[in-house]
């Protein structure tokens, strides 16, 4: 029977965030070890997202927006704005620092933000990769359209499609919009899978779910739209060993996390070239 996982709300850099993974009942779904819904939040002029520079190790951050924009800067020198439908994949590997803010043009006017940010755990033998960053425009992401239903593959492989976004383990991450009565089968029966409802009503088995519900599939292999709506479908190969998480650090060895904490405190992480006047302390 499918299981609903309830999220918890908290504030992050001026933004209301609902965090679902990691969950006490399920730490990971495939390689997805962290799942945040950012917003929806309305900002007045002069207010907005203000996440100061902070470090990561051992993971990839995956950002995908429904509304608004975010200005990404990192210690590799990347400086760009992400818009709805685009993908930012930042692979921290052995260590990276980034900030998430807004441009002057956005901050100077009333605006809104709504989107998802996930952490994708790296396999144990890849945690010390050199850091990297990839930005893929929505026009370059594969889509599947048929009567009453449209899918966009954000990351991974599913339904005969393959995303250009680089991955380090088998996974899928899809944005799906459909009309009432549409039915969708899961892309792979031997992978873990979960569904997040953005809008509408979804039926799995004999239960119905709605906005904000995160559902973990167990024995089920399909879902249907009770009402027209939008969902995100995600999953991948099960990780036999889940890494540890402390703050922004992911590692399979707790000693590696302690080293990262000390490196951040002592200023050994690289700086963000054009955003290095402040930072988030551990």
12, pLDDT greater than 80 = no
Query: What is the Cβ-side half-sphere exposure of residue 93, based on CA atoms within 13 angstroms?
Result: 15
pLDDT tier at 281 (50, 70, 90 boundaries)?
Answer: very high
Q: Is residue 263 part of a domain?
A: no
Going by DSSP bridges, is the β-strand pair 192-199/96-101 parallel, antiparallel, or unpaired?
Answer: unpaired
Q: Is residue 85 part of a domain?
A: yes
Tell me, what CATH number does 38's domain have?
A: 2.60.120.10
Per-residue pLDDT of 139-191, as tens digits, reads 999 999 999 999 999 999 999 999 999 999 999 999 999 999 999 999 998 99
Whole-number Å distance between alpha carbons of 196 and 231: 6
Q: Is residue 226 part of a domain?
A: yes
Per-residue pLDDT of 38-48, as tens digits, reads 999 999 999 99
What percent of the chain shows pLDDT beyond 70? Answer: 99
Per-residue pLDDT of 215-256, as tens digits, reads 999 999 999 999 999 999 999 999 999 999 999 999 999 999
Per-residue pLDDT of 111-142, as tens digits, reads 999 999 999 999 999 999 999 999 999 999 99
Q: Is residue 139 part of a domain?
A: yes
Residue predicted with more confidence, 15 or 114: 114
pTM: 0.96
135 token code pair: 């930005």
Q: Where are the alpha helices (DSSP H) in 22-108?
A: 104-107
Are the C-beta atoms of residues 233 and 20 closer than 8 Å to each other?
Answer: no
- pLDDT for 65 equals 98
Q: What is the mean pLDDT of residues 71-75?
A: 98
- pLDDT for 1 equals 83
Are the C-beta atoms of residues 208 and 197 closer than 8 Å to each other?
Answer: no
Q: Is residue 259 part of a domain?
A: no
Q: What is the mean pLDDT of residues 50-66?
A: 97
Q: Is residue 243 part of a domain?
A: no
Per-residue pLDDT of 201-224, as tens digits, reads 999 999 999 999 999 999 999 999
Q: What is the mean pLDDT of residues 29-58?
A: 96
13, pLDDT greater than 80 = no
pLDDT tier at 11 (50, 70, 90 boundaries)?
Answer: confident
Residue 99 — φ and ψ, nearest 5°?
-130, 160
> Count of domains in the chain?
1
16, pLDDT greater than 90 = no
Q: Which domain holds residue 193?
A: 3-236
Ramachandran class of 113: left when φ > 0, alpha when ψ lies in -120 to 50, beta otherwise: beta
Q: Is residue 247 part of a domain?
A: no
Q: Is residue 251 part of a domain?
A: no
């Amino acid at each position: 029977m499918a299981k609903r996982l309830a999220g918890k709300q908290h504030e992050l850099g001026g933004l209301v965030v609902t965090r679902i993974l990691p969950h006490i009942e399920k730490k990971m779904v495939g390689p997805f070890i962290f799942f945040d819904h950012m917003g929806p939040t309305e900002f007045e002029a002069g207010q907005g997202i203000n996440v100061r520079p902070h470090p990561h190790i051992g993971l990839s951050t995956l950002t995908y927006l429904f509304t608004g924009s975010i200005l990404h800067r990192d210690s590799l020198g990347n400086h760009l704005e992400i818009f709805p439908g685009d993908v930012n994949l930042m692979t921290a590997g052995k260590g990276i620092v980034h900030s998430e803010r807004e441009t002057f043009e956005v901050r100077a006017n009333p605006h809104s933000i709504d989107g998802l940010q996930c952490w994708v755990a790296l396999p144990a033998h890849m945690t010390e990769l050199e850091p990297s960053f990839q930005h893929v425009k929505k026009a370059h992401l594969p889509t599947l359209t048929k009567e009453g239903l449209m899918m966009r593959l954000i990351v991974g492989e599913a339904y005969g499609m393959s995303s250009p976004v680089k991955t380090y383990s088998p996974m899928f991450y899809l944005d799906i919009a459909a009309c009432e009565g549409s039915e969708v089968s899961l892309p792979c029966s031997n992978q873990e899978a979960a569904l997040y409802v953005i809008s509408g009503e979804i039926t799995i088995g004999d239960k119905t779910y709605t906005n904000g519900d995160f559902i973990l599939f167990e024995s089920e292999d399909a879902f249907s739209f009770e009402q027209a709506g939008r969902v995100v479908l995600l999953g991948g190969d099960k990780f036999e060993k889940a890494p540890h998480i402390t703050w922004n650090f992911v590692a399979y060895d707790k000693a590696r996390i302690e080293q990262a904490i000390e490196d951040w405190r002592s200023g050994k992480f690289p700086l963000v070239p054009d955003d290095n006047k402040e930072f988030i302390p551990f």
